[in-house]
Chain A
Amino acid sequence: MKSAKVFLMISVLIFLAAQKPISFWQKPSHFPKPIFDFKEKPLDSAKVFLGRLLFFDPILSKDNSISCASCHSPYNAFAHTDHPVSHGINDQIGNRNAPALFNLAWQKLFMWDGAINHIEVQSLAPISHPKEMNENINAVLEKLKKSNLYKSAFKKAFGDTIITSAKLLKAIAQFELTLVSANAKYDKVYLGKDTFTDQEKRGYILFKQHCNSCHQEPLFSSYEFETNGLKPDTTYNDYGRFLMSNNPMDSFKFKIPSLRNLAYTYPYMHDGRFKKLSEVLNHYTNDLKTSQKIAVQLKGGLQISGNDKADLLAFLNTLNDKTFVFNPAYQFPKELLQTNEGN
């Protein structure tokens, strides 16, 4: 009798141990395997929260005026609506459009030119860029060490109050990795929970015909680098990926952006030159700068009629993920207000 009890207890324990721990991050079932290694660097709720504090806190900038969220606002799918290029410290203007932040775990290289090789070191770039936050990482650490909120948040996240740049960078990356957008109408249709209208269906066929080779579903980007036939802007003279690789074949190549959440992320292109999606489509059908280096898929321009464009836009509209944009876990953390009020 006693042994039966022990056996039962042991089986319950084995059963409990076999249960997977509740993961903070779950891969959407229809998404491919992410590039980020979550086994090696699992997400942790305290680190994610610390990262969220840092993401929304202007303490990262030299005069405490600009936060990551200044140019990557949750309501714009973490882009900067209405601004062709980003605005930094002292109203300085950069030369590229702030990219929307989501599904970053599936991306190998970051920035329009792929200058950054790992999400954990990405935030060093805007923190130190003279036209963005213009701050030294060591000065950020000194400011954080004086804050009780951060002492406590670092302790919860990393087990001690020693604040280092590696911890700060890891925490910001952890928050950014939670930004998964996979709940648009497209996703619901894909998972059999919704259906496309006739127009959306026609648009989906056109998408697969004209767009999918670069903007591959379900992420809606291959995240490769391509030349898309834009006339170089003579103000910026931005050579894109060439600036990183020094390879002339990379001149004017930029990272292919995802087509998810376009309704929230205008204006479009690396320099934000187009305000409307119709302008983007007209560029691809009528206005390509033909050069030898243009992406092979675009040679000769896309052949899409006016009616077809309307259908295509209807499909693109199914990629807008409202639950992503309004997810409460991604919004400004109220805890930051308390520090500003001296608590």
Chain B
Amino acid sequence: MKKFGFILLFTYSFWAQAQNSVSIRFEPIYNQFRLEPNLIYPNLVDSIQFQELKFYIGHVQLYNDDSLVAIATHSHYLIDIHQNQTITLSIPNQASFNQLRFQLGVDSITSVSGALEGDLDPSLGMYWTWQSGYIHSKIEATVFGSNRNKTQFTYHLGGYQFPYNSLQTIQLGLVQTETIKIDVDIAAFLEHEEVLKQSVIMSPKPASLVLSQIFAHSFKVSQK
């Protein structure tokens, strides 16, 4: 009988510790279309083709109001339209959450920690070589105008030091599901008047900071 009670207790504790997983996908979209490299997307007056679209998502956390429910395994994930990337978090069974918090970019402590591995490997094209620091978002696209003149956009956004610390903290309220899809609306970003003002940014500076803030507003929980 004693033994049976022990097994029951063991089973219960196993059940109590059981975890559910939640997967999060960041999906760049362009006017409702899922963005893929080198396809040409129509626009109102012109069309656009993306060569690169990569960005760092860091410190992914699920919250229930103000209490922390789960933290992603890795500190940073590089989201790249050339690759499929799903971020998986384990949450305790029966735990609920109603908010997703994450950073767009690489925090300053990580930025001064030397040569790192994995998604933060400096060979992934997201590290400035002539000065230390990560490019947090790399957006390279060609716009074909109605007269077929090509315009190249090159935005390498980043900077971890004052006064150009471009790290963005994002909080999104959501309804609990096992899979969360975050739309990253690139069209809204590119059509912003501040973004239209310049076609090339390749270093930490005021414009990099402004565009990082605008880009952070492109992240929305998908309603589909």
Chain A contacts to B: CB under 8 angstroms:
41, 115-121, 124-125, 127-129, 137-138, 141, 164-166, 169-170, 173, 244, 246
Contact = CB atoms under 8 A, between A and B. Distances in A.
B205 to A, nearest CB: 6
Nearest to A247: B163
A117 B111 contact: yes
B117 A164 contact: yes
Contacts of A244: 131
A137 B131 contact: no
Q: Is the interface of A mostly helix, strand, loop or mixed?
A: helix
Q: Is the interface of B mostly helix, strand, loop or mixed?
A: loop
Given A165-B115, A169-B115, A121 B123 contact: no
B39 interface: no
Given A165-B115, A166-B116, A170-B115, A121 B130 contact: no
14 contacts: A116-B131, A117-B111, A117-B132, A118-B114, A118-B115, A118-B132, A120-B115, A121-B115, A124-B122, A125-B131, A164-B123, A166-B116, A169-B114, A170-B114
B129 interface: yes
A141 B121 CA distance: 13
Contact of A118 (B113, B121, B164): B113
* 8 pairs of A and B residues whose beta carbons are closest in the complex: A120-B114, A169-B115, A165-B123, A115-B131, A117-B132, A120-B115, A128-B129, A166-B115
Q: Looking at chain B, what size class is its interface with the partner chain?
A: 10 to 19
A170 B116 CA distance: 9
A124 B115 CA distance: 10
B63 interface: no
Given A120-B114, A166-B115, A127 B123 contact: no
B41 interface: no
A129 B129 CA distance: 8
Contacts of B127: 121, 124
A175 B122 CA distance: 20
Nearest to A119: B114
Interface in B25-80: none
> Which one of B111, B117, B123, B205 has the highest number of Cβ atoms from chain A below 10 Å of its Cβ?
B123
A138 B101 CA distance: 33
A10 B117 CA distance: 41
B115 A173 contact: yes
Contacts of A170: 114-115
B112 interface: yes
Contact of B132 (A121, A138, A165): A121
Nearest to B127: A124
Contacts of A119: 114
